[in-house]
Structure 1
Amino acid sequence: MEHVTSNRTLKGHTEWVRCVALSHDANTLASCSDDWNIRLWDANTGTARGRPLSGHMSWVSSIVFSPTRQELISGSCDGTIRVWSLETCRTLLELSGGHVQAVNAVAISSDGAVIVSCSRDATLRGWDAGTGQYITPPLVGHSRSVTCVAFLPHSRLAMSGAEDCTLRTWDFTEGVETASSPQSRHFARLESRIWSIACTPDGARVACGLSDGTIRIWDFESGVLVGGSIYCHQKAVRALQFSHDGTQLASGSDDGTIRISDAVDPGKILWTANHPQRNVIAIAISPTGHVVASCTLDCWVRLFDATTGEELHALRGHTRLVSSISFSLDGSMLASGSEDRTIRFWSTATGETALAPIVYDYPITSVAFSPDGARLASTSTDGTVSIWDPLTGDRIMNALDPDEDEIGPLYRVAFSPDGRRVATTGMDKALRLWDTSSGQLNRAPVNGHWQRITSIAYSSDGTRIASSSEDESIRLWDARTGELVGRPLVGHGDTVNSVAYSPDGRWLASASDDGTIRLWDATDSWLRTEWDS
């Protein structure tokens, strides 16, 4: 496919745009928004058509064009559905009283005769598109908010998805659920909430998007799932890291487990270790590949044999949450930073204290050894980034953004592969690049996420920085200039907690609260493929 670029930007709404729809002749584009309005646009020129369609008393959540009339159907959080004339931009019908909570989505049959709506009240309704009258009682079957609905082409059979993680089929000729029909026996409970449904034009396949960031596709007649998703943990995946030879991927989760997977086939689990205390906060693999370290909510750090999964040592010394861990260059020492305001150094061979702890004035949020192992960088809740000599405990650098009166805590730090820079992120959602010799910022802070950044990682060649965020996305940055590279990487259905590059720089791994781990092509060809897909 050719590279897709933005042709123009259509400006008019004053709040988030919830949904867009293209007319069947591809000449008109409709958009609906949290500003309670619907707008029509010339799809060829991008110019607005007529005045905004106003009448809903809350967010407009869904719109669809009639296939047979010059009409547009909309559903709103005010609990109503409206049918609009595209010629006059006025309401033709107001379908009210069918739902007691917000309307999440609307759909219309291919013959233009039946409108179906689904709601936060866990019901669906069928309506006569010509009169606006009910043709069904409330259709009950889902136990939670029904988030999406779509008609199969050339029929009045519709499919709905909900927050109860189920897919259902409905026959709007009769207005009853076809649960006993052979056509629907294959669609049942899934692992995650269902956010969207789509059908191929021939009705042969049905796709749905799930809250875990995965897409499932079925052959409708046989009910056979086309492809699948890999789940390594039962709960949110908080941390992950590639082994230095790139053959293994370590992950830690809120389910209290650490898993080592085959990096080529993440579905192949090599071993699993269970923590007595749930919630794995951070994970690291030694440069030699022999030891895996983890820290959890119990304030302990544990070391495991990377081959067998056997626990080697439990490192006790911190009195509050351990927020970050980092191995030295030769893997002989592990540094840990904690909310107890200390940085501790441990021998990976004996599990004993290797060096005197560093005591700071504020909680430590992140630690990272320099590539040569001679320095250690740390961030803290006071908004500073520090660089230490681990042997003496002397602070070599202590830097604070001079242009920000109060940037809040810094949460993550990472050394560039050449050790000349460190990257930090904090509460203000900005990426900062610091010169490790002078302690000065290389450039002004840059923003790309709209919620807190949870993790940062340099590529092995030092040209890119990857960041993950609570906004469910991953972003790539030019490590020299700090500028964003490409668009956000989206697919996860919840906070992305951690990112890690493979040693050869070809792959980027991400871990999320949705319980999944994803592998991304991190080469330049990935950029082209992502935008085309």
Structure 2
Amino acid sequence: MLKLIHTMRGHTKDVNGVAFFNDGRRVVTGSWDEALRMWDANKGTLVGKPLEGHQGGLYSVAVSPDDLRIASGGYDKTMIIWDVESMQKVFSPLVKHTGRVRSVCFSPNGTRLASGSDDKTVVVWDTKTGTVLATLEGHYNLVLSVAFSPDGLQLASASSDCTIGVWHIILKINGHHPVRGVVWSPDGQEIVSASDDKTVKFWDASTGQQIGRPCIGHTDQICSLAISSEGSFIATSSKDKTVRLWSTRTFRQIGQVLEHTNGVYCVAISPNGTLLASGGLDQDVYLWRHNGKRMS
């Protein structure tokens, strides 16, 4: 049974991005109010001042594996890498994309950063220098989500062209109606995607073949998904004002539906699997706990 333990207020517009620090004690959120905010996951309180530097609303946030950096991407077509301790920009905003930056993610070793954009490309950046390492072209519409594989050797991208790109082995999976989110299983064998068609699907990362049946239950488009660190369950957020959990073994919904007062745009699971954070159109960040135990 999941229990709402904190409703964290501070943003003044939609919350579009959320990520846990790897220590599990802090959460960072990005909003259409152009600011990032950090929160104490135990107390539900703000940590420090807002991080401001984008010239438009934020779509995505990510935390580096060592918890020393935050990356953000937004409407202004740029990415910013922030130093957590000083709460300052590491570089000037990173400029390469010609469209809004919808998704950002760090590689497992933290040396690279990937971004997906409305300009239909994925860009890979060097996090130490802020330089572009590669521009990946092949999608025919917006790139809405990017995720590195657990070994860091491959990169998955989800697009509104209804496909999932897997870069390095150059595999394209014909997915489902505009694919909003994509994550890897911890063993790197499977890719999980979420879509406007209200479903979640599982794919063999090597062959691109669908595995099992879709997860069905949402009544409006799915905006975001996250997978637990050991891979036993996923969480999805939707415009239907709910967050739902799904078993990666049975593909069935587990537990109760978690309700917001409006559409839910982002969701994240803590590294130890006991906490879940969600945010959306109601401007609040909700923090849920599963009876002090793992949700799996």
- TM-score scaled to structure 1, two decimals? 0.41
Question: Cα 1:9–1:126, aligned 2, differ >3 Å: closer, same or farther?
Answer: same
Question: Cα 1:55–1:140, aligned 2, differ >3 Å: closer, same or farther?
Answer: same
Question: Cα 1:527–1:160, aligned 2, differ >3 Å: closer, same or farther?
Answer: closer
Q: Deviations over 1:422-456 (max 9, x none)?
A: xxxxxxxxxxxxxxxxxxxxxxxxxxxxxxxxxxx
Aligned counterparts of 1:123 and 1:526: Cα–Cα separation in 2: 35
Question: Cα 1:528–1:61, aligned 2, differ >3 Å: closer, same or farther?
Answer: closer
- Map of 2:167 onto structure 1: 170
Question: Cα 1:94–1:186, aligned 2, differ >3 Å: closer, same or farther?
Answer: same
1:490 partner letter: H
Q: Deviations over 1:248-276 (max 9, x none)?
A: xxxxxxxxxxxxxxxxxxxxxxxxxxxxx
- Map of 1:293 onto structure 2: none
Q: Deviations over 1:451-493 (max 9, x none)?
A: xxxxxxxxxxxxxxxxxxxxxxxxxxxxxxxxxxxxxx73432
Structure 2: 5+ residue stretches without partners: 223-239, 241-252, 260-294
- Map of 1:236 onto structure 2: none
Give 1:156 shift: 3.0
1:89 to 87, 90, 93: 87
- Map of 1:217 onto structure 2: 202
Aligned counterparts of 1:57 and 1:88: Cα–Cα separation in 2: 21
Aligned counterparts of 1:47 and 1:135: Cα–Cα separation in 2: 38
- Map of 1:63 onto structure 2: 61
Structure 1: 5+ residue stretches without partners: 172-183, 232-488, 495-511, 513-524
The within-5 A match list for 1:4-403 is 4-68=2-66, 70-136=68-134, 138-171=135-168, 184=169, 187-229=172-214
Aligned counterparts of 1:110 and 1:526: Cα–Cα separation in 2: 29
Give 1:70 shift: 0.7
- Greater relative contact order (CA < 8 Å, ≥ 6 in sequence): 2
Report the identity percentage. 29
The answer to whether the 8 A contact 2:22-2:66 is kept is no
Q: Deviations over 1:13-53 (max 9, x none)?
A: 00010011001111110011000000001111111111000
1:79 partner letter: K
Q: Deviations over 1:68-88 (max 9, x none)?
A: 351101111101100101111
User: Runs of 4 or more off by more than 6 Å in structure 1?
Assistant: 529-533
- TM-score scaled to structure 2, two decimals? 0.72
Give 1:94 shift: 2.9
- Map of 1:493 onto structure 2: 221
Secondary structure at 2:48 match in 1: strand
Give 1:190 shift: 2.7
Aligned counterparts of 1:45 and 1:75: Cα–Cα separation in 2: 27
Secondary structure at 2:177 match in 1: coil
The answer to whether the 8 A contact 1:193-1:210 is kept is yes
Tell me how large the CA RMSD over aligned residues is.
2.6
**Residue-pair matches, total:** 232
2:218 partner letter: V
Aligned counterparts of 1:186 and 1:80: Cα–Cα separation in 2: 27
